[in-house]
Amino acid sequence: MLERIQEELLKTNTTLVAVSKTKPAAAIQAMYDKGQRIFGENRVQEVAEKYETLPKDIQWHAIGHLQRNKVKFIAPFISMIHSVDSARLLEEINKQAAKNDRSIDCLLQFHIAEEESKFGWQNVEDVLTFLKSSDFSEMKNVRIVGVMGMATFTDDKEQVRGEFQRLKGYFEELKSDFFTDNEAFKEISMGMSGDYQLAVEEGSTMVRIGSLLFGRR
Ligand SMILES: *Cc1c(COP(=O)(O)O)cnc(C)c1O
């Protein structure tokens, strides 16, 4: 399965984040041995433990909702945080990254689904206001490299497509209004096991696939 998906994603130059949450280190090691280097996790303690035991050239991505008081546990090693849904969270990431004398790549998570429970910024205007503030310009230890979103969990493909299009639209707006000549701002993290092909069609640059690779959780 990994090879098939890797091959498929190669055609569109889409990055695969193998979502290994709840899966044991041995399952990750097996996928590592086949060449996979980027793994996504949603629990701080779990990713910190896996970081300790697994090869150090793995790039760990934090993909789930992140509490501010837990940022310090992943700040020394995390490669990317997909779930930045508030200014206060970014501020904490910046602070902890500075303590570790490094910079952390972050994605701004937008709320694109119908469901109430999903986190994220609601609109581009709020994000632009924040990005243009001195609060943000003083954050030297974070780099915003794109956006992330989760579509509604539904069989209605057109709805999911519409939500992905909306996220792509947010990305384009931010690109033209703020990140104009910023080449680092290039990622659109969208698409999971059930909808990644649709996401790729709609311009995803990074898919987060778990169960399709590792089996059911
Ligand atoms: C669990 C999770 C995924 C992967 O979901 P699958 O349906 O198993 O592919 C992707 N993104 C986020 C944010 C997740 O929490």
How far is ligand 1, taken at its centre, from the CA of residue 132, in Å? 31
Mean model confidence pLDDT for the chain = 97
How far is ligand 1, taken at its centre, from the CA of residue 59, in Å? 17
For residues 205 and 157, give the distance between their C-alpha atoms in angstroms, rounded to a whole number. 19
User: What is the per-residue pLDDT for 116?
Assistant: 78
Band (pLDDT 50/70/90 cuts) for residue 60 is very high
User: What is the per-residue pLDDT for 115?
Assistant: 83
Residue 110, phi then psi, degrees to nearest 5: -105, 145
For residues 21 and 173, give the distance between their C-alpha atoms in angstroms, rounded to a whole number. 32
Domains, the chain: 2-214 (3.20.20.10)
pLDDT above 90 (res 174) = yes
Q: Whose CA is nearest to atom 7 of ligand 1?
A: 193
Residue-wise pLDDT for 92-120, tens only, equals 999 999 999 999 999 999 999 988 766 89
Band (pLDDT 50/70/90 cuts) for residue 57 is very high
For residues 206 and 142, give the distance between their C-alpha atoms in angstroms, rounded to a whole number. 19
Residue with tokens 């000549």: 181
How far is ligand 1, taken at its centre, from the CA of residue 82, in Å? 12
Q: Is 191 in the pocket of ligand 1 (CB under 6 A)?
A: no
User: What is the per-residue pLDDT for 1?
Assistant: 86
7 contact partners, CB below 8 Å, separation of at least 6: none
Model-level pTM? 0.97
User: What is the per-residue pLDDT for 58?
Assistant: 98
